Amino acid sequence: MIEKRTAIRLTDGRELIYFDETPAEDRTAWPDTRELPPPPPTSQLRYDPLVDEWVAVAAHRQTRTFLPPSDKCPLCPSTPDFASEIPAPDYDVVVFENQFPSFSDRVKAGEITELTDMVPVRPGVGRAEVVCFTSDHNSSFGALTPERVRTVIDVLADRTTEMSALPGVEQVFPFENRGIEIGVTLSHPHGQIYAYPMITPRTKAMLAAARRHADSTGGRNLYADILAAEQKAEVRIVGANDHWTAYVPAAARWPFEVQLAPNRHVLDIPALTPAERDAFAPLYLDILRRFDALFAKPMPYIAAWHQAVTGADRHLGYLHLQLFSIRRAADKLKFLAGSESAMGAFINDIIPEKAAQQLREAL
């Protein structure tokens, strides 16, 4: 749990926040000593009228750091020989504004121009943050202690609350990418948080389905009913405790996919009770260990928190963590080829009930 929260500014003006589990030393005693260029202007949002979606164009991200050697990792604590993004010589959990953000509040005058009368353009106003789970470069989320996982949940609650209140933000999305197979460019254990200036396509589809369900059932919550059905069926349940259930969705898109949901209807991470936050860690760590045990090697994955949006239809949301991997066998990956990439129509190679069984038997 968080005992101390300290916010500082890096030399280019970006915010960095230390979240300490014990009353640590004065973090302001470790200033950023680097000479950095000003942060880039925010991305452009370009509207695609064919599918009613906004696409972010962030050209500055093309130059972001790519798989540096471990002694030049920007997410490790700073040393006398290398000044990283984190000035202190050690830390518990740290959050900072991304140096190469997909969204920010830095709007450059004259940067946004109209393209055609069919494609509106607007600034990608929002925020993108990096969350470092540990100062140990060689660790992983699955190797964290339950106490550290609880700290991370408290940090995500803190950031969700603050980022949801930013002007123009419609959705806050914490996530972790793990493994070079996924496309990770920094191997240090970390996640990210996006504060979107729009509702993402996946969430729009989920809200539309939830709205239809509520209208046809007298106001019932769609995800709550799906969770209850999975709990009753039992066959796809991978693990559970008094506060959370982990299951493979019946229509899973990915070879190995698990959703972890609170048994109580919760809108977002800040709304979790202390007991629910405590109970999350043992179950999630168990599922991560099962993922790694499936093929006796680290499993590449994406862990995506789905939370209620900040505005209209917020009541339709139901907090859950979607954990999935593109690995379908020890030596095979699932690539998003023609049907998935071009048409958005997924074809899964693994029967969800079989995936659940394999995960149950993995340890």
Which is the catalytic residue, given 190, 213, 243, 320? Answer: 190
- Let me know if 190 is a catalytic residue: yes
Helix (H, G, I), strand (E, B), or coil: what is residue 85? coil
The CA-based angle 35-36-39, given to 5 degrees, is 160
CB 118 within 8 A of CB 49: yes
Cα–Cα distance measured from residue 260 to residue 272, given in angstroms and rounded to the nearest whole number: 13
Q: Measuring CA to CA, how many Å separate 343 from each of 68, 200, 339, 346?
A: 35, 17, 5, 8
Cα–Cα distance measured from residue 174 to residue 69, given in angstroms and rounded to the nearest whole number: 26
Stated length of the chain:
363
> Residue with structure tokens 């389905």?
209
Q: Is 76 annotated as a binding residue?
A: yes
State how far Cα 11 lies from the chain centre: 27
From 88, 95, 115, 108, select the one nearest 15 (Cα to Cα). 95
> Residue with structure tokens 């419609």?
170
Amino acid identity of 71? D
In the 8-state DSSP scheme, what is residue 339? Answer: I
Helix (H) or strand (E) holding 223: helix 222-233
Q: Is 243 annotated as a binding residue?
A: no
Q: Is 137 annotated as a binding residue?
A: yes
Active-site positions read: 190
The annotated binding site is made up of 73, 76, 137, 188
The annotated binding site for Zn(2+) is made up of 73, 76, 137, 188
